[in-house]
Amino acid sequence: MFHGSIPALITPFQNGEIDMKAFADFVEWQVQSGSHGVVPCGTTGESPVLDDEEYQSIFAMTVSVVKGRIPVIAGTGSNCTRKTIKMTKIAKECGVDAALIVVPYYNRPTQDGLYAHYKAIHDATDLPIIIYNVPSRCGTEIAVETILKCAELPRIVGLKDATSDTSRATQIKSVVKSNFCVLSGEDALAGAFLAQGADGCISVTANIAPKECSDFQNAWQAKNMEQFMAIQSQLMPIHKALFIESSPAPVKYAASVLGLCRDEVRLPLVPASPKAREVVLEAMRQSGLIKQTEHGKRHAHG
């Protein structure tokens, strides 16, 4: 089962191209910091603006760096079932452990269409599949009943839920097979999802605070509520700040402050605005990721 803190990895760019050296170093840092898995080519990795060859390069590099130490869950979803099948097969060839497949966006399929989409991918591939529900980006929400129907398929093994309805975790976990995982897709609600029976979080914040996010999940598992609440309070300012503008522009800026990569995104996204940068910097200070007087240096456990 997939669990704990699983960063949705940013994709570092340099002059418009993927900075593979920065990406490899970044993935290694995530593993060393205690992350329980990684997701290359998710929304935070700017998947909509990557071409097929770049997907393949990123999947292969992630698998090469991780070396089996933690699961690699490849973002392979699109709003085209045929393309999703193709990308999922490519990911399998690269050696990933599972696929994270977003609800088809823009097309606005019915619930029957969503089930048919996931069943077609399930039947045509042989990777474990995690459904990704993010209605704020997709314009379509997959219903609990449809998720439960999908969960009856043997290789559909989880859900990433980026909604504010934490009760969905209990509704789903109380019914599905024992190896089906529910993962929060909202950092600020990760604790609430755990309390409703979820197994972890696919995280944006973990890009810049992997140890803290890992410690947070481990504290819950260890029933150390004092540490759990302390880390939740510590990280809440940065959870909020990283979504002040379209993600991943704010987290890319935060990563650049820590010396992890350049502050570069691909169009149609643009870098975080000066006002957003001020908010992110202040949140990084409040969360202890940088010192009050520090700017442009990597934090202590980086």
List the catalytic residues.
132, 160
* Burial tier of 225 (Cβ tally within 10 Å: 0-12, 13-18, 19+): exposed
User: Which residues in 80-105 are b (16+ Cβ under 10 Å) and which e?
Assistant: ebeebbbbbbbbbebebbbbbbbbbb
Phi, psi of 160 (to 5 degrees): -100, 120
Indicate the helix (H) or strand (E) that contains 161.
strand 156-161
- Residues 52 and 211: their CA atoms lie apart, in Å, by 31
Q: Which residues pair with 130 in a beta bridge?
A: 100, 158
| Cis ω for the linkage preceding 248 (within 30 of 0) | yes
Indicate the helix (H) or strand (E) that contains 176.
none
- Residues 184 and 203: their CA atoms lie apart, in Å, by 8
Tokens 């959870």 — which residue? 239
- Residues 175 and 24: their CA atoms lie apart, in Å, by 39
